[in-house]
Amino acid sequence: MSKGSRDIAEKTLATGSPKKYALEISDLKPNTKFEIEILDQEHAFALRDWQKMGSPEPPTREQTEHLQGKAITTAKTDVYADEKGSLSWNTVLSPWAVVLLKEL
């Protein structure tokens, strides 16, 4: 990533503010299990770790392995529909977060 691209990414990440979200789904089978996976500035985002390393160009093999591991480590949480088949999930998401809800 070039310095110009990093600057654009940093400027973009600095926009916005955390937002509260409420997800409600009904008419599910009782106790249906879901996985919620979140990619945000704290999860699956290796830029900060790379910067903490001193922004090496290029990173060593060990640094690259660490960054690759960081880049695929999303936040995962299991949630369940209640006995009536309703799922309710409330959270606060940081700007630019991406959420995947997957039925298991």
Please report whether residue 90 resides in a domain.
yes
Please report whether residue 97 resides in a domain.
yes
Q: Which pLDDT belongs to residue 14?
A: 86
Q: pLDDT band at 9, cuts 50/70/90?
A: confident
pTM for the structure as a whole: 0.81
- Measured at the alpha carbon of residue 98, what is the angle toward residues 18 and 3, in degrees to the nearest 5? 85
DSSP string covering 9-32: HHHHHTSS--EEEEEEE-SPPTT-
Q: What is the mean pLDDT of residues 19-29?
A: 97
User: Residue 35's domain spans which residues?
Assistant: 18-103
Q: How many CB atoms lie within 10 A of CB 97?
A: 20
Q: Which pLDDT belongs to residue 10?
A: 82
Please report whether residue 7 resides in a domain.
no
Please report whether residue 69 resides in a domain.
yes
Q: pLDDT band at 1, cuts 50/70/90?
A: low
Q: How far apart are CA 84 and CA 31, in angstroms?
A: 8
Q: Identify the CATH number of the domain in which residue 22 sits.
A: 2.60.40.1500
Domain total in the chain? 1
Q: How far apart are CA 37 and CA 43, in angstroms?
A: 10
Residue range 44-99, pLDDT digits in tens: 988 889 999 999 999 999 999 999 999 999 999 999 999 999 999 999 999 999 99
* CA proximity to 76, closest of 33, 27, 46: 33
